[in-house]
Amino acid sequence: MTTITPILLCGGAGTRLWPVSRKGHPKQFGAAGGGDSLFRQALARLSGPGFAAPVIATAEDYRFVAAGQTAGLPPPAAILLEPFPRNTAPAVMAAVLHVARRDPQALVLVAPCDHAIPDGAAFRDAVRAAAPAALGGRIVTFGIVPTRAETGYGWLELDGDPAAHAPVPLRRFVEKPGAEAAARMLAGGRHLWNAGCFLFAADTLVAAARRQAPDILSLAAEALAGAVPDLGFLRLAPGPGARARAVSIDVAVMEGATNLSVMPFAGRWSDLGDWEAMAREGAPDPQGNILQGSVTAMDCGGSVLRSEEGGPDLVAIGLTDLLAVATPDAVLVAHRSRAQEVGQAVAALRRRGARSADAFPRDHRPWGWFDRLVAGDGFQVKRIHVNPGAALSLQSHAHRAEHWVVVAGTARVTVGATVSLLAENQSAYIPRGTRHRLENPGNRPAVLIEVQTGPYLGEDDITRYADAYARA
Dihedrals phi, psi of 337, to nearest 5 degrees: -70, -10
For residue 175, give every residue at least 6 positions away whose Cβ sits within 8 Å of its Cβ, in sequence order, or none: 154
Rounded Cα gap, residues 305 and 303, in angstroms? 6
Nearest residue to 370 via CA among 358, 356, 381 = 381
Residue-wise pLDDT tens digits, 316-359: 999 999 999 999 999 999 999 999 899 999 999 999 999 999 99
Mean pLDDT of the chain: 94
End-to-end CA distance of the chain: 45
Nearest residue to 380 via CA among 457, 455, 328, 447 = 457
Work out the percent of the chain whose per-residue pLDDT is above 70: 99
More confident residue, 295 or 165: 295
Classify strands 139-144 and 228-230 as parallel, antiparallel or unpaired: unpaired
Which of the four pLDDT bands, split at 50, 70 and 90, describes residue 50? Answer: very high
Position 177 scores a pLDDT of 93
| DSSP string over 152-189 | SS-EEEESS-GGGSS-EEEEEEEPSPPHHHHHHHHHHS
Mean pLDDT of all residues in 201-206: 98
Position 25 scores a pLDDT of 86
Mean pLDDT of all residues in 8-29: 90
Cβ atoms of residues 21 and 13 within 8 Å? yes
Which of the four pLDDT bands, split at 50, 70 and 90, describes residue 384? Answer: very high
Cβ atoms of residues 90 and 223 within 8 Å? yes
| DSSP string over 207-234 | HHHHHH-HHHHHHHHHHHHT-EEETTEE
- Side chain identity at 125, as an amino acid letter? D
- Side chain identity at 108, as an amino acid letter? V
Which of the four pLDDT bands, split at 50, 70 and 90, describes residue 469? Answer: confident
pLDDT at position 262 over 90: yes
Position 142 scores a pLDDT of 97
- Counting Cα atoms < 13 Å in the Cβ hemisphere of 298 gives 4
Mean pLDDT of all residues in 408-430: 97
Sheet strand arrangement including 379-386: 362-365, 368-376, 379-386, 446-453, 401-408, 427-430
Which of the four pLDDT bands, split at 50, 70 and 90, describes residue 427? Answer: very high
Rounded Cα gap, residues 391 and 343, in angstroms? 36
Cβ atoms of residues 204 and 140 within 8 Å? no
| pTM for the model | 0.88
Residue-wise pLDDT tens digits, 143-162: 999 999 999 899 999 998 88
Dihedrals phi, psi of 205, to nearest 5 degrees: -70, -35
Rounded Cα gap, residues 397 and 437, in angstroms? 12
Position 32 scores a pLDDT of 64
Position 152 scores a pLDDT of 87
Cβ atoms of residues 261 and 169 within 8 Å? yes
Nearest residue to 123 via CA among 260, 261, 266 = 266
Rounded Cα gap, residues 436 and 416, in angstroms? 6
Secondary structure (3-state) at 106: coil
More confident residue, 342 or 470: 342
Residue 460 neighbours by CB distance under 10 Å:
5
Alpha-carbon Rg for the chain, nearest whole angstrom, is 24
Residue-wise pLDDT tens digits, 210-254: 999 999 999 999 999 999 998 889 999 999 999 999 999 999 999
Decide: residue 49, CB within 10 A, 0-12 exposed, 13-18 middle, 19+ buried: exposed
Which of the four pLDDT bands, split at 50, 70 and 90, describes residue 13? Answer: confident
Dihedrals phi, psi of 307, to nearest 5 degrees: -120, 120
Cβ atoms of residues 118 and 182 within 8 Å? no
Position 31 scores a pLDDT of 74
Interhelix angle for 38-45 vs 120-135, to 10°?
60
Q: Which domains does the chain have, with CATH numbers?
A: 4-265 (3.90.550.10), 284-350 (no CATH), 362-466 (2.60.120.10)
Q: Which phi-psi region, left, alpha or beta, contains residue 272 (left: φ > 0; alpha: ψ -120 to 50)?
A: left
Position 41 scores a pLDDT of 94
Between the CA of residue 293 and those of 290, 307, 310, 318, 376, what are the distances in Å?
10, 5, 10, 19, 29
Residue 388 neighbours by CB distance under 10 Å:
14
Residue 461 neighbours by CB distance under 10 Å:
16
Which of the four pLDDT bands, split at 50, 70 and 90, describes residue 399? Answer: very high
Between the CA of residue 18 and those of 23, 88, 142, what are the distances in Å?
9, 21, 28
